[in-house]
Amino acid sequence: MEISLIIRTPGTAPNQCERIHDFIQSAVDQGHEIKQCFFQGAGVSAAVNNQTLPRWRQLATLTGAELLLCSQAVEASALSVPEPFVIAGLGALVEAAVNADRLVSFV
Give the three-state DSSP class for 83. coil
Residue 1 carries which DSSP code? Answer: -
User: Catalytic annotation on 70?
Assistant: yes
6/37 Cα distance (integer angstroms): 6
Give the three-state DSSP class for 19. helix
Of the residues 7, 17, 37, 70, which is catalytic? 70
The catalytic residues are 70
